[in-house]
Amino acid sequence: MAEEIDQQVYDDLIAQGKSERVATAKAKAAAVRQQKQQQAAEEPAQQAQPAASSPPAGDGGQAGGQAAATMAEAGVMTPEQRQERVRQALQAKQGETGGQAGEKAPSAKFAGQEHTHRLLAMVPPSGIQQIRGKQEDKVYTWPHLISSEFIALMAVTAGLTVMAVFVNAPLLALANPTNTPNPSKAPWYFMGLQELLLYFHPMVAGVTIPTVMLVGLAAVPYVDRNPSRRPENRKTIIVAFTVFMVFWAVLVMVGSFFRGPGLNWVWPWVDGLWFAL
């Protein structure tokens, strides 16, 4: 009975296009289930027999041999029989298809195998979850970056052209060492340092204070290691940088617009604007 179920399940699966490995495993599983059902049906009759009829303890080897013979009679095929059935099924399938070019004959290695495979579990392809890396937002240099930079270049060039046409910025006369202009101001980006010279010693205004500021700015990434980019999480460093920028901007504005002849304090709306580009 078990052999018939084994053969029937195997033939059905092969007809459905299943692989030999899957068909063999499922056929064997069906045969084992049928054998267990037969054994379960025979257990009540065996339990009804007298206890004296049970074999002695020393006859364990003989009982094991009888059990093996019983399983063989039940229809469980040996590995050689199963391999022979697989070879026959492959030959029959190859003969039906007429020996098409894409098919391959069973290899000698597979034919010479003397062991069977157990089917532990069958997982459908839809149940396999593929883990993929998180996709990041990326753009190519061309045309995204290059086009944006080209548009910015054209906008800056147009702005400079318009400024050169409408703003009168003539060159001054040649420098005369005997006639120093009053006031003599530095370029606007050095105006903060020139303003500090009016309040401190040159060593302090020109070396100490700029050095402390530059070293402090360079040390910020090592002191504040918070990786967050949200302003509410970086209040300390944002406040420190804002104070520095406001302090320097105030010095530049005072030196540019509120210093007149002799670098004295003037009101630009009263005494005029003593500032040149």
Domain spans of the chain? 2-44+66-121, 140-169, 176-271
pLDDT classification of 54: cutoffs 50, 70, 90: very low
Under 8 Å between Cβ of 262 and 183:
yes
**Does residue 37 carry a pLDDT above 60?**
yes
What span, in angstroms and rounded, lies between the C-alpha atoms of 195 and 206? 10
Q: How do residues 108-122 score in pLDDT, each as one tens digit? A: 444 444 555 555 555
What span, in angstroms and rounded, lies between the C-alpha atoms of 34 and 9? 12
Secondary structure class of 259 (helix, strand, coil): strand
Judge: domain 176-271, CATH 1.20.58.220. Answer: no
What span, in angstroms and rounded, lies between the C-alpha atoms of 186 and 196? 12
| pLDDT at residue 7, as a whole number | 74
Under 8 Å between Cβ of 266 and 258:
yes
What span, in angstroms and rounded, lies between the C-alpha atoms of 119 and 19? 12
Q: Which of 21-35, 52-66, 122-136, 201-215 has the lowest mean pLDDT?
A: 52-66
Secondary structure class of 103 (helix, strand, coil): coil
The DSSP line for 107-170 is PHHHHT------------GGGPPPP-PPPP----IIIIIHHHHHHHHHHHHHHHHHHHHHS--P
Rounded to a whole number, what is the largest CA-CA distance in the chain?
A: 139
What span, in angstroms and rounded, lies between the C-alpha atoms of 187 and 193? 10
What span, in angstroms and rounded, lies between the C-alpha atoms of 200 and 215? 20
More confident call, 73 vs 262: 262
Averaged pLDDT for residues 158-183: 86
Of 41-55, 140-154, 219-233, which one has max mean pLDDT? 140-154
**Does residue 244 carry a pLDDT above 50?**
yes
The DSSP line for 24-64 is HHHHHHHHHHHHHHHHHHHHHHHHHS-GGGSPPGGGHHHHH
What span, in angstroms and rounded, lies between the C-alpha atoms of 189 and 248? 10
Q: What are phi and psi of 49, to 5 degrees?
A: -70, 155
